[in-house]
């Protein structure tokens, strides 16, 4: 049973948070590119970072700072990733935090920093400094939407989700925003996610909840199979809702975790829907795999295959490319046992190919904005699901023209 309701809003849906987005002129003129998310007081914090061995300067700073389990503000810029920028980059990231702490009158150690954009460029620190000052004066308990716009890069729409639930008879909100449309894949890539809640949560429990949620959401999203230097998801819990502090021993712990998973999953789906040039949202399910690990590698191989993705764009139920992807994924597969479905229609059934008459029905499935491709390997109980999109002309256009 669902224990939460969707509501309007993003990072300022929860009580105790203010946010804003301003145009600091980092890469483009007159485009919001600097965001603040600020809690009224220090909060519990948890974060998950990229697994890329090349980690941007802000990621290196935040990894240190979130170990304390406490934070009060996040400053985010788009237009420049501050990655591969060496010692200067680290200094700049620390300076962004110091400037933010100064402008807000809070301890700079409680400020986290995120950057997204082009790799290898130094931050324009004068404009950043001016932007932070302006942003500190623009904070608002309804500023979530401005912040969500300011963190966008090649995103075509802002991405926000919020839910409401009840814990200990108190109303609890969980809301978030994210950016990301290319380079998105399991283990996250060029994505930034910020989630706030007014629930009271022990910071170690918060960390556990976030890891569980990321695993079934952001880590299940594949656009093009790349992973970035800057990926970060930060979750802050203000405790203003007044519930008893949540830990896994609280009777309503699972309600909180499920609601958090939903926020993360819906944000992840919004990234797929906004995948660069995407025209289709495709849910890839693998079941009947020998192991869960097999299901995972098979689903990822399908979702990452350029040949499979172009066939979706072309409304071509080319199950041959799907089974070929499973075949090289490393998963066990016997083509005489496997079944492949487009929606509910079986395209390939244990050695038998669907009647030509079903081709139109399969193309009708694929004509929808969202559809499912299911592979049943009939070798065991392993299951996995990945969310992804097709590969279109516009993917090439966007990424060929997005310049260094």
Per the structure block, which two tokens stand in for 292?
Answer: 């869960």
Taking the CA atoms of residue 20, residue 24, residue 29 and residue 32 in that order, the dihedral angle to the nearest 10 degrees is: -20
Candidates 328, 368, 370, 381: give the one binding a second copy (CB under 8 A): 328
Instruction: Give the start-end residues of each E strand in 84-217.
Output: 111-118, 159-167, 170-179, 192-197
Element (H, E) at 63: helix 57-65
Site membership for a second copy, residue 393 (CB under 8 A): yes
Cα distances (Å, whole numbers) of residue 274 to 141, 154, 294, 403: 27, 9, 28, 20
Candidates 215, 335, 364, 383: give the one binding a second copy (CB under 8 A): 335
Backbone angles phi, psi at 322, to 5 degrees: -65, -50
Site membership for a second copy, residue 150 (CB under 8 A): no
Candidates 179, 202, 280, 321: give the one binding a second copy (CB under 8 A): 321
Site membership for a second copy, residue 397 (CB under 8 A): yes
Candidates 2, 8, 40, 54: give the one binding a second copy (CB under 8 A): 54
Site membership for a second copy, residue 336 (CB under 8 A): yes
Name the residues annotated as catalytic. Answer: 190
Per the structure block, which two tokens stand in for 141?
Answer: 């308990």
Candidates 76, 173, 178, 325: give the one binding a second copy (CB under 8 A): 325
Residues 254-293 that bind a second copy (CB under 8 A): none
Supply the minimum distance, in Å, between the C-beta of residue 279 and a second copy.
10
Residues 120-139 that bind a second copy (CB under 8 A): 120-121
Candidates 84, 130, 138, 358: give the one binding a second copy (CB under 8 A): 84
184, 221 contact by CB (below 8 A): yes
Backbone angles phi, psi at 396, to 5 degrees: -65, -45
Q: Are strands 382-389 and 281-289 parallel, antiparallel or unpaired?
A: antiparallel
Supply the minimum distance, in Å, between the C-beta of residue 80 and a second copy.
11
Query: Looking at 84-92, 93-101, 155-163, 378-386, which segment touches a second copy (CB under 8 A)?
Result: 84-92
Per the structure block, which two tokens stand in for 129?
Answer: 């400094």
Q: What is residue 140's DSSP assignment?
A: B
Q: Which is nearer to a second copy, 38 or 55 (CB)?
A: 55
38, 18 contact by CB (below 8 A): yes
Distance CA 185, CA 262 (A): 18
Spatial CB neighbours of 183, under 8 Å, sequence gap ≥ 6: 189, 190, 223, 224, 226, 227, 228
Distance CA 72, CA 37 (A): 8
Candidates 311, 339, 374, 388: give the one binding a second copy (CB under 8 A): 311
Per the structure block, which two tokens stand in for 242?
Answer: 């007044």
Site string for a second copy, 186-225 (x = CB under 8 A): -x-x----------------------------------xx
Per the structure block, which two tokens stand in for 207?
Answer: 């960390």
Site string for a second copy, 93-122 (x = CB under 8 A): -------------------------xxxx-
Supply the minimum distance, in Å, between the C-beta of residue 37 and a second copy.
26
Site membership for a second copy, residue 79 (CB under 8 A): no
Q: Which is nearer to a second copy, 134 or 394 (CB)?
A: 394
Task: By CB under 8 A, name the binding residues for a second copy.
Answer: 51-55, 81, 83-87, 118-121, 182-183, 187, 189, 224-229, 304-307, 310-311, 313-314, 316-321, 323-328, 331-333, 335-336, 348, 351-353, 359, 391-393, 395-397, 399-404
């Amino acid at each position: 049973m669902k224990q939460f309701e969707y509501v309007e809003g993003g990072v300022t849906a929860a009580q105790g948070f203010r946010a804003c987005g301003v145009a600091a002129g980092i890469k483009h003129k007159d485009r919001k590119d600097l965001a603040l998310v600020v809690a009224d007081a220090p909060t519990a914090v948890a974060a998950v970072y990229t697994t890329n061995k090349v980690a941007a300067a802000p990621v290196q700073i935040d990894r240190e700072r979130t170990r304390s389990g406490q934070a009060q503000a996040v400053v985010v810029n788009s237009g420049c990733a501050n990655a591969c920028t060496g010692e200067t980059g680290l200094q700049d990231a620390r300076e962004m935090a110091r400037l933010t702490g100064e402008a807000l009158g809070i301890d700079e150690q409680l400020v986290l920093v995120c950057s997204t954009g082009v790799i290898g460029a130094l931050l324009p620190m004068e404009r950043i400094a001016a932007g932070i000052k302006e942003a500190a004066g623009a904070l608002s308990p309804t500023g979530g939407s401005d912040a969500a716009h300011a963190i966008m890069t090649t995103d075509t729409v802002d991405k926000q989700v919020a839910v409401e639930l009840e814990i200990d008879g108190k109303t609890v909100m969980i809301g978030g925003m994210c950016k990301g449309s290319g380079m998105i894949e399991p283990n996250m890539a060029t994505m930034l996610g910020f989630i706030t809640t007014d629930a009271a949560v022990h910071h170690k429990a918060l960390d556990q909840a976030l890891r569980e949620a990321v695993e079934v959401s952001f880590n299940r999203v594949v656009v093009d199979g790349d992973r970035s230097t800057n990926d970060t998801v930060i979750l802050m819990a203000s405790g203003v809702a007044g519930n008893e502090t949540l830990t896994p021993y609280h009777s309503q712990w699972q309600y909180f975790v499920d609601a958090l998973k939903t926020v993360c999953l819906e944000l992840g789906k919004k990234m797929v829907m906004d995948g660069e040039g995407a025209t289709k949202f495709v849910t890839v399910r693998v079941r009947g795999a020998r192991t869960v690990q097999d299901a995972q590698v098979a689903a990822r191989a399908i979702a990452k295959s350029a040949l499979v993705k172009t066939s979706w764009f072309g409304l071509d139920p080319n199950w041959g490319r799907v089974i070929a992807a499973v075949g090289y994924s490393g998963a066990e597969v016997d083509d005489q046992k496997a079944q492949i479905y487009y929606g509910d229609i079986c395209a390939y059934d244990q050695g038998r190919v669907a009647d030509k008459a079903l081709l139109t029905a399969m193309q009708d499935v694929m004509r929808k904005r969202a559809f499912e491709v299911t592979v049943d390997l009939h070798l065991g109980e392993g299951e996995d699901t990945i969310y992804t999109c097709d590969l279109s002309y516009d993917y090439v256009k966007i990424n060929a023209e997005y310049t260094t």
